[in-house]
Amino acid sequence: MRPLRGSRDHPHVRILLFLTLPLYALDQVTKYLVLRFIDPYQPPEVIVRDFFSLVNVTNSGAAFGTFANNNAFFIALSFVALVTVIFVLLRRGPSDIWRRCALGLLLAGILGNLTDRLVHGHVIDFLFFNLHVRFADPFPAFNVADSCICIAVFCFIIHSFCEERGRAATVTNAISRDESNLRDGR
């Protein structure tokens, strides 16, 4: 397969180079540091008292530890998601920035957690917040890859609202134009 002419300047390649890869690297470096310096059997490293700590927690399941001990299933699911996101990002290529960024973030998150599952047999979580609100007291530990996935979902939601608003405006303009043509006898 021939590389695209000026492929480094292609918007989808820029997303990979300047968003996905740096976030993936940040995820892996922070997890390496956690494994190296934070003992999972010691109390959390308090950063902001009663609010934020660093921990070394493993997760063999999905979000919030659900579906624990299903690593093989999540590896397969991650591969399917990875191939799908890469295909959408590089093949069809979304035209708007929200969707491109969402796909880039999603790719970073998938790669980060998939790497953990393949290398360690589980995902490493280390960011631990106590939000002092019901059902999130404390909030389950998470990592940079999880954050990328959550922010990607937020970007997809914004994209869908913007796209819906654009469609509504197009329909409204078409109706107004048709009404105007009817009045003018066209």
- pLDDT tens digits, 12-37: 778 888 999 999 999 999 999 999 99
Residue 173 has pLDDT above 50, yes or no: yes
Per-residue pLDDT band at 4 (split at 50, 70, 90): very low
pTM: 0.80
**pLDDT of the residue at 167:** 59
Q: pLDDT tens across 96-117, in order?
A: 788 889 999 999 999 999 999 9
Query: Which residues does the annotation mark as catalytic?
Result: 125, 146
Residue 9 has pLDDT above 70, yes or no: no
Asked if omega into 3 is within 30° of 0 (cis), the reply is no
Residue 178 has pLDDT above 60, yes or no: no
- Using alpha carbons, select from 4, 36, 8, 19 the residue that is nearest to residue 111: 19
Distance CA 142, CA 140 (A): 6
Lowest mean pLDDT among 59-63, 100-104, 111-115, 162-166: 162-166
Per-residue pLDDT band at 177 (split at 50, 70, 90): low
Return the structure tokens found at 42. 């010691």
Average pLDDT, the chain: 84
Residue that wins the pLDDT comparison between 80 and 7: 80
Count CB atoms within 10 A of the CB of residue 14: 14
**pLDDT of the residue at 102:** 92
Distance CA 145, CA 32 (A): 13
